[in-house]
Chains A and B, each alone.
Chain A
Amino acid sequence: MKKITLTLYRGLNGINPGAFRVDADGVSIFEEPLPDYKFNLEIRARFAGDKIEGTIAEVIEPMLKNGIAEYTPQFGEGHWSLRFPELNVAETKKLLSKYAKNVLK
């Protein structure tokens, strides 16, 4: 089955852990860059098959291993929910902040 790689975006005005909203579904990321932010953090993910609600993509950024993104268009156009199943909320925020610092600074 053909694998598709896509780049997903999280808009950020800062890069400390507090800049990431994590809820029970994960962190909201989008297929298109978001306007009006200082940064658009890019996160690449790969999936196989058709893109339908619930499709799971594997995050392929080396710093974000074990991350998954679920296609959740019910929350908005081009919306994916980014999750790290082994991490709690605080750990997820810290990891994403570390990644953002590495990529954006």
Chain B
Amino acid sequence: MSSEAKIIEKIENFLTADDYKNGFEVVSLALSIKDEEDRDLQLFEIIEWFLKNDDWQKAHGIAGLVSDSYEKSEALQMIAEKMAEIGHLERALFVFSEAEHNCENENLAAWQKAELLHKIANSLQKYNAIFKAEEIWKKAATIAQRGELSENPQDSLDCSSILAEIAEDFASDGKIEKAFKIARNIKNVGKKEQVINKISEHSDQIRKVA
């Protein structure tokens, strides 16, 4: 086993044992990992662990040590959600904004940016920051629609997949017209047909209830 693998195993053991008093030691271990992706993933898992222990302050501090990556944006979104959950809504909005800005990282694929933004918008809506959520969904849809134009079939399809998810979430939230508007413009025919059928089901259910 390589020395980095041993460090990762040690971190996993700390986290599994819920050894909270050694929290800083575990961060220091993670920072000693040379491989950036491995280091970010371990820091991300430590952040999840601090959040599980309701310590969003430490979690936020550690997020600053993560390189600009998918993990960083996801961690910030989770921290903001925890803050909102315990009533620090104004500060949470600031951290949601940090998460949003991190999505602008050029190393992320279009579908990753759109997926992260969609998660942030969902969290914002949950805490009634409706106007901001709408703004972020618009941004996510624009990025995904641009990404669909990629000649790479996997990137293009993953972007269609995000748009389908956004459309279906809108439909399940009763925003049928908005859902159809996004769905009808999805480039991948299979994803488009599939999500239009799902939106129609949601629409029928709403009509039945009304």
> A: which residues have CB within 8 A of B?
10-11, 13-19, 21, 23-25, 28, 30, 34-37, 72, 74-77, 79, 97
Chain B nearest CB: distance from A8 CB in Å?
A: 12
Given A28-B157, A28-B161: A17 in contact with B190 (beta carbons within 8 A): no
Q: List A contacts of B41 (CB < 8 A).
A: 16-17, 97
Interface residues, chain B, with chain A CB atoms under 8 Å away? 37, 40-41, 69-71, 74, 107, 109, 111-112, 115, 152-155, 157-158, 161-162, 164-165, 188-191, 193
Sample (10) of A-B pairs whose CB atoms are under 8 Å apart: A13-B107, A14-B70, A16-B41, A16-B71, A18-B70, A30-B153, A34-B152, A75-B190, A76-B153, A76-B190
Dominant secondary structure at the B interface: helix
How far is A13 from B40 in the complex, measured between Cα atoms in Å? 15
For the complex of A and B, the 3 pairs showing the least CB-CB separation, nearest first, are: A18-B70, A74-B190, A75-B190
Inter-chain CA distance A77–B41, complex, in Å, is 33
Residue on A nearest B8 in the bound complex, by CB: A101
> What residues of A have a CB within 8 angstroms of the CB of B189 in the complex?
74
Q: Answer whether A18 and B71 are a contact pair too, CB < 8 Å, given A11-B152, A23-B165.
A: yes
Partner of B152, one of A14, A15, A25, A36: A36
Interface residue from A14, A34, A37, A75 paired with B191 (Cβ < 8 Å): A75
Nearest-neighbour CB distance to chain A for B84, whole angstroms, equals: 20
